[in-house]
Structure 1
Amino acid sequence: MTAVTYAPDLPPPPVPERCFRQQTARLFREAPLLLDCGQPVSDVRVAYHTYGTPSDHAVLVLHALTGSSAVHEWWPEFLGEGRPLDPTRDYIVCANVLGGCAGTTGPAELPRVQGEDAPITLRDMARVGRALLEELGVRRVSVIGASMGGMLAYAWLLECPDLVDRAVIIGAPARHSPWAIGLNTAARSAIRAAPGGEGLKVARQIAMLSYRSPASFALTQAGCGTRRPGTPAITTYLEYQGEKLAARFCERSYLALTGAMDRFQPSDAELRSIRVPVLAVGISSDVLYPPDEVRAHADLLPQGQYRELVSPHGHDAFLMDPQNLPGWAAAFLHRP
């Protein structure tokens, strides 16, 4: 295998349109998918992007809670020639998750259970992803995911151990703590109390407070903002983030996906059963998933490694302040 070089000081080059394809697959048309809740689902639609030349080995990218399969839009530091996800070298696949609202079958198309949307799980999502890979002729994958995508990577390691060669898990624990569940509970309560978009705006504001850190906001949101003179910058920032998410995301998907994350509670014994190499990256100022928590779960993995990204910007540092993170991921994904 040739050595991987990565130049972190170069600006991310744009990914030419010829290097990626946006497609939709229809899966489980002959035999249904049985959800963990016991409900069968047929004709599941999966929207996905691929980058590079089709191969029986792929790098599988798992997106965050409100992300999408369009990796070139939200992770430019990672995608491109000479970067961890290189379409000239790798076949890269990223699919929108089951229950989301970016083209894959969403809550409104799933069965109802006792008058509510069927509870989906991260393992359900992994099984849908496995069916997509089979459709694409992919037999083995290296996995990379951050935030919810990192938790989903743990689900892949447990649900599909025969498919995964190695995994890079960024800013994510193996299971939610009471603190993380509490934040999601508050967000879901806001949505249920004010359906129709207003509650989703508040849910996003709650989430944004956990995605950054006090130091990050002191650096970026001190003083008064420009949107409304005399109003604290942090206030207008949170209002803007809420409005932006409400314009593009579905509140039922927010309920479904945060619930799936909270329900994912693998035991220590299950984590010790994971035999493939895993690189877990914690973020020094992450208040949502503190680095000690990420490290503790990585330490349970027989071939787990831990590195820490030092940044004042909290959980979102993997997007806004990645520093050496792309280089670490490249070295781990492509080592002999």
Structure 2
Amino acid sequence: MRPAAARAGDARHGSIDAVLATRFAGTRKLRLDYELVGPADAPVVLVAGGISAHRHVAANALDARAGWAQGLLDAGRALDPARLRILAFDYVGADGSIDAPIDTADQADAVALLLEALGIDALAGYVGYSYGALVGLQLAVRHPQRLRHLIAVSGVHRPHPYAAAWRALQRRAVALGRLQCADEQGLSLARQFAMLSYRTPEEFAERFDALPQICNGQVRVAAEDYLDAAGAKFVARVSATAWLRLSESIDLHRVDPAQVGVPVSVIAVEGDRLVPMADAVALLEGLGGRGRLRVLRSSYGHDAFLKETDRIDALLASELFGPGKPIERSSPIQAATGVSA
């Protein structure tokens, strides 16, 4: 493995060359791209998001652009890179180079290879949201010595059949677009379908309760501009092959909670249409004494992690810091309003 990195103060990004034995795609030579921000002697916390997330979590000295979880790394937050070393990476297959089934176990093995190459014996914490939570659970099964504590947000041990059906229809939209030589349109439509599953009817009722308009002889409802914009933004940065294979990866995911070898904080969102509360409870029950459930009430559903910055930050602080937690610090942690144990 060959580490290569660019540095700017406490920020660094780069890549390692690795050989990964995947579950379905054979043995592959890969480049694992990562970003590492924070003091060299600080506890390392890996942050991983959904299938469209990437290594750039927040603006830093090397890259001033906003990251996919920008507010959660602001000064004074639980994940403040002034006191923690934040690691993130691009998922295997995120560059579209693998057109074969990818498993969440492959992603966990890639994390282990990355940690080895970077000289990180173990993560103080792993914060995984959505797909990132699935990868974290695999890491806790396959490489428990590599982390002390997992925080799994809106992600559990298996996909719900309802959510899998949503994703299957999204993949059919991409396939139909390809048949029509309209790859971008198919992927855009798939993303728009996905937005309906990420959010809730309550949010749409609040934001888009307006009369439809007639445009060029066709009826157009209030949410269509929002959906079109979401699709266009997504197509500009994600390839169809990468999205298809990572979408499949969610549906391939299976973990036996009894085999998870580290403490897990399970954060569930009421109204999450993709990860129902019952599945979070099932994960907790399977974990036995190694699990703790926190519940967030939010109209944002599956996307609450990205929208409820203050409340998610409070949850992360309560699960990462303090007596008996993976990271010790002396400052008091305030309880989160609207969060129940």
What range is the shorter-chain TM-score in? 0.7 to 0.9
Does the 8 A contact of 1:66 with 1:249 survive in 2?
yes
Q: CA deviation at 1:323?
A: 4.0
C-alpha distance in 2 between matches for 1:68 and 1:225 = 37
C-alpha distance in 2 between matches for 1:244 and 1:77 = 20
- In structure 2, do the counterparts of structure 1 residues 236 and 165 end up closer, same or farther at CA, with 3 Å as the change threshold? same
Q: Letter of the 1:94 partner, please give it.
A: A
Match of 1:5 in 2: none
If the length of structure 1 is used for normalisation, what is the TM-score? 0.83
Q: Letter of the 1:147 partner, please give it.
A: S
C-alpha distance in 1 between matches for 2:310 and 2:271 = 14
Q: Letter of the 1:27 partner, please give it.
A: D
C-alpha distance in 2 between matches for 1:35 and 1:52 = 31
Q: Does 2:115 align with 1:133?
A: yes
Alignment of 1:17-166 (within 5 A): 18-21=9-12, 23-28=13-18, 32-37=19-24, 39-42=26-29, 44-55=30-41, 57-72=43-58, 73-101=67-95, 106=96, 108=97, 110=98, 117-141=99-123, 142-166=125-149
Does the 8 A contact of 1:151 with 1:172 survive in 2?
yes
Q: Extract structure 1 runs of 4+ deviating beyond 4 A.
A: none
Match of 2:331 in 1: none
Does the 8 A contact of 1:275 with 1:301 survive in 2?
no
- In structure 2, do the counterparts of structure 1 residues 80 and 153 end up closer, same or farther at CA, with 3 Å as the change threshold? same
Q: Does 2:188 align with 1:201?
A: yes
Q: Letter of the 2:72 partner, please give it.
A: F
Match of 1:321 in 2: 308
| Structure 1 unpaired stretches of 5+ | 1-16, 111-116
Does the 8 A contact of 1:63 with 1:96 survive in 2?
no
Instruction: Tell which has more relative contact order, 1 or 2 (C-alpha 8 A, sep 6+).
Output: 1
Match of 1:11 in 2: none
Q: CA deviation at 1:123?
A: 0.9
Match of 1:4 in 2: none
Percent identity, aligned pairs only?
Answer: 28
Does the 8 A contact of 2:212 with 2:220 survive in 1?
yes
CA RMSD of aligned residues (A): 2.0
C-alpha distance in 2 between matches for 1:218 and 1:37 = 42
C-alpha distance in 2 between matches for 1:225 and 1:160 = 53
If the length of structure 2 is used for normalisation, what is the TM-score? 0.82
Match of 1:252 in 2: 241
- In structure 2, do the counterparts of structure 1 residues 300 and 39 end up closer, same or farther at CA, with 3 Å as the change threshold? same
Q: Letter of the 1:76 partner, please give it.
A: Q
Residue 265 of structure 1, aligned match among 254, 257, 276 = 254
Q: CA deviation at 1:27?
A: 2.1
Match of 1:181 in 2: 164
C-alpha distance in 1 between matches for 2:237 and 2:25 = 31
Deviates more, 1:307-316 or 1:50-59: 50-59
C-alpha distance in 1 between matches for 2:106 and 2:43 = 22
Match of 2:4 in 1: none
Q: Letter of the 2:122 partner, please give it.
A: R
- In structure 2, do the counterparts of structure 1 residues 184 and 18 end up closer, same or farther at CA, with 3 Å as the change threshold? same
Does the 8 A contact of 1:63 with 1:94 survive in 2?
no
Q: CA deviation at 1:197?
A: 0.9
| Structure 2 unpaired stretches of 5+ | 1-7, 59-66, 324-341
C-alpha distance in 2 between matches for 1:193 and 1:217 = 27
Q: CA deviation at 1:35?
A: 1.0
Match of 1:12 in 2: none
- In structure 2, do the counterparts of structure 1 residues 35 and 56 end up closer, same or farther at CA, with 3 Å as the change threshold? farther
C-alpha distance in 2 between matches for 1:206 and 1:55 = 44
- In structure 2, do the counterparts of structure 1 residues 198 and 293 end up closer, same or farther at CA, with 3 Å as the change threshold? same
C-alpha distance in 2 between matches for 1:180 and 1:149 = 16
Q: CA deviation at 1:225?
A: 8.5
- In structure 2, do the counterparts of structure 1 residues 126 and 56 end up closer, same or farther at CA, with 3 Å as the change threshold? farther
C-alpha distance in 2 between matches for 1:248 and 1:282 = 28
- In structure 2, do the counterparts of structure 1 residues 265 and 200 end up closer, same or farther at CA, with 3 Å as the change threshold? same
C-alpha distance in 2 between matches for 1:56 and 1:87 = 9
